[in-house]
Chain A
């Protein structure tokens, strides 16, 4: 004999539950969390390198750095004196909420209690597919794409760009050398995501970074403390 059990449960319920728990942990500690996502090579680490010096003057920062096999990106970011917790995911192509919870535990053990920080930056594994589906408890999803990826990238990966709370287009210093139709890229992003702010930046020329930093300031405004 068989019995049918109606569940109606999200397939990713376990991850959603952990992500919700992470979010509560962040809120209780007064920490904002951003989840940076992009395809491999779009410039997540370089973007963080470009702004960490400024951000460190405004906020108490920590970073969880996800990568599949190495700690190379984490090593690049440690030079700014910010606690960087590396998470090597092995064959998993994204960070999940349990991994980030483990990162929080390590951060508190190796650096300081979570309430000592204002902003936790999670640099996800380079992947435009899975991270969009696996929440980690973040307050904001930040999706990057570089000008080298073409106008139709948002249409090919609509779930990622639709889920983003902020979109950063990187490597704008390369525009003179590329056939990219900027208006088409902007339009395609707007068609997928009508509301997320879009920032065009270059870490080489510093173009656009101030505007993106202003967006970050606006997200943290209630918690901002200016350190002299």
Chain B
């Protein structure tokens, strides 16, 4: 259910872009999904596959790059990979999670569209 809602949100954002971009034929959508988000990439792929038939994304492949969860400890001045077992604290000085360098991405990185005489999708 959660990834279904995420897919709806993704489709809405893509639809808004698609109309502004003059409705090209979309071949691939490349996402960056951070490990410290509520999105599970495999579930999003499934939900996307179920949602796009009959839409302007029917021929589109969804590609997801998982972005690692990396934090920065200002005391140690080094980055680290937070883990639940250590309450996401710095493994060296155990300071709380403060600055997140990566892992919160929920980004549509880029889109591959087809160009040429057959490139314009039907109005979906």
Contact = CB atoms under 8 A, between A and B. Distances in A.
Interface of A: 1-15, 91-94, 96, 129-130, 132-134, 155-156, 158-159, 162, 188, 190-192, 194
B59 interface: no
A196 B115 CA distance: 51
Chain B interface helix/strand/loop/mixed:
mixed
5 contacts: A1-B116, A11-B10, A13-B16, A130-B5, A191-B96
Interface residues of B, number: 37
A156 B2 CA distance: 17
B46 to A, nearest CB: 16
B16 A2 contact: no
B79 interface: no
Interface string B4-15: 111001101100
Contacts, number: 109
B108 A2 contact: no
B88 A158 contact: yes
A51 to B, nearest CB: 29
A93 B2 contact: yes
A137 to B, nearest CB: 16
A25 B98 CA distance: 32
B84 interface: yes
Contact of B109 (A8, A94, A134): A8
A3 B89 contact: no
B31 A11 contact: yes
Interface string B84-110: 100111000000111000000011111
A6 B88 contact: no
Contact of B17 (A4, A7, A93): A7
Contacts of B24: 3
Contact of A3 (B4, B13, B115): B115
B113 A7 contact: no
A11 B32 CA distance: 9
Residue of A2, A134, A192 with most chain B CB atoms under a 10 A cut-off: A2
A91 B1 contact: yes
B81 interface: no
A14 B109 contact: no
Nearest to A129: B38
A2 B113 contact: yes
Nearest to A187: B87
B36 interface: yes
